[in-house]
Amino acid sequence: MKDEAIHIILFLLFITVLPLPGLGYEQPVDIKPDTLTVHVLGTAEDSRFEPKSIRVKPGETVRFEVKEGMHTVTAYHPDNRRDLRIPKDAPSFDSGILTAGDTWYLNITYSGEYNYFCMPHERMGHVGKIISNNTNSNNTSTNYKN
């Protein structure tokens, strides 16, 4: 119960801080042709990452474009109070609250599976996965759906 209250307070803090300029969560990166885009959609039970799973190579960047609602891109990592479900040497990540029109970048540096979730909608199944490996497949598409 106390835990729940802390979550709500943190959430309200995020919302309060959000409109201030200069506090955006975007990370400046070079836009490269190998930047892949994941659209973040929905406002409640319909919340989703599209595509839900993508395949990348280490060194590539994933761009999250929030189209509607209020979401986060958060690693399954002990730093975020979850079991580790990203490569063990990879740094944890958490976008903070993103709203419609926001873009957030994640640079993938290690091989392995990066599982991530959206804090407000995790329990509604708002989760995604990035599979990073160096193997050259014959498949020219870098995205696929689960």
Query: Which positions lie near Cu ion, rule CB under 5 A?
Result: 47, 71, 118, 121, 126
**Which residue's CB is nearer to Cu ion, number 99 or number 133?**
99
- Per DSSP bridges, beta strands 98-99 and 70-71 are antiparallel
The number of C-alpha atoms within 13 Å of 65 and in the hemisphere containing its C-beta is: 8
By Cβ distance, which residue is nearest to Cu ion? 118
- CA 102 and chain centroid, separation: 12
Shortest spacing between CB 27 and Cu ion, in angstroms = 19
Q: Which residue, 35 or 99, is less far from Cu ion as judged by CB?
A: 99
Q: Could you tell me the smallest distance in angstroms from the CB atom of residue 43 to Cu ion?
A: 8
Compute the least distance from the CB of residue 58 to Cu ion, in Å: 27
Q: Is the Cβ of residue 2 or residue 123 nearer to Cu ion in the bound state?
A: 123
Q: Which helix (H) or strand (E) holds 53?
A: strand 53-56
Q: In the complex, what is the shortest distance from the CB of residue 44 to Cu ion, in angstroms, rounded to a whole number?
A: 9
Q: What's the rounded Cα separation, in Å, for the pair 51 and 36?
A: 10
Q: How is residue 34 annotated by DSSP? A: T
